[in-house]
Chains A and B, each alone.
Chain A
């Protein structure tokens, strides 16, 4: 009996710890008009990138993609091709259909270290939020962020 209780407590602790983290992916994209189409690595974004306002460009190249595990209330930083992004996992809610909904603070800094964007976004686990519009390397910079609650 004692062994069973211990096992249940341990399982509970593990589940609780998992609920406090999220796996985030930052995908950096450069949009330009070089007539080269969409980078095969960006296949999953193709439908979005061929719609306005992105339809103004015909070339989308993946600059980099990074993954990080963020812990609740602990800021995590990623160095980007265009600067850096800080993620702060603030909250986890339960959305319709049992899907997790995350509240995430995003601070995007330029290469010079100056803050470009500071935002708090609430989105479903696994969904993408895109931050775009800044000139970068002769094109336009797009940062696609996605987090999955664990």
Chain B
């Protein structure tokens, strides 16, 4: 597979092609076993990462719901429940209150989005030990575990399982790296795989 083809494949999988380009590339894909295999492997890698993100979002959902309910309860509270403002700041307080009344929807959405971002980021960095996030084959006996993804230009992945390999740092020039674990067999430790996806073309 040429670097050009790899770039086209990335664009195709990212949905960055026009309809005509995508159709032309699909024809090319159908005619090349190698390209088809690379597409299948890349799709698997992406599914693992997407599954991880979705799982993180699902885990964060109940917490976000609770926060949202709290914000809504606060917004619906009667004005009498609000403590009277200190006289000196009355006008400023009124102005802020008026501003908040006008934009409270945006403020609440901003706060919830920020919290969601923090929760997802924390969840992605700290993967619990033995936390299987993806079973690409559909067979529960062969789970594939992602321990970190999308590391580009430097970054670290924390791995909880002591016996498995830990990636302290990972830099992929002109691309990104995704770290997987292939489950252990016969008393062996799980095998850690660093999957390299480069944005730039050219065979190694």
A120 to B165, CA, bound (A): 10
* B165 lies within 8 A of A127 (CB): yes
Instruction: Give the complex CA separation of A121 and B203 in angstroms.
Output: 24
Q: Report whether B194 and A131 are in contact in the complex, using a CB–CB cutoff of 8 Å.
A: yes
* A67 to B3 alpha-carbon distance, docked (Å): 31
User: What is the size category of the interface that chain B forms with chain A?
Assistant: 35 or more
Closest beta carbon of chain A to B29's beta carbon, Å: 13
List chain B residues, Cβ under 8 A from A118.
Answer: 169-171, 173
Residues on the B chain within 8 Å of A139, using CB: 34
The CA-CA distance from A6 to B162 in the complex, in Å, is 39
**Interface residues in A, total, Cβ within 8 A:** 44
Q: Assess the B165–A56 pair: CB atoms within 8 A.
A: no
Is the pair B204, A141 in contact by a Cβ cutoff of 8 Å? yes
Nearest-Cβ distance from residue B33 to partner chain A, whole angstroms = 5
Closest residue on chain A to residue B6 by CB atoms: A135
Q: Which of B34, B38, B191, B195 contacts A127 (CB 8 A)?
A: B191
Query: Which of chain A's residues has its CB closest to B33's CB?
Result: A33
- Which residues of B are found within 8 Å of A61, using beta-carbon distances? none
- Residues of chain A touching chain B, judged by Cβ–Cβ distance below 8 Å, are 32-33, 47-48, 51-53, 55-57, 82-83, 95-96, 103, 110-112, 114-124, 127-141
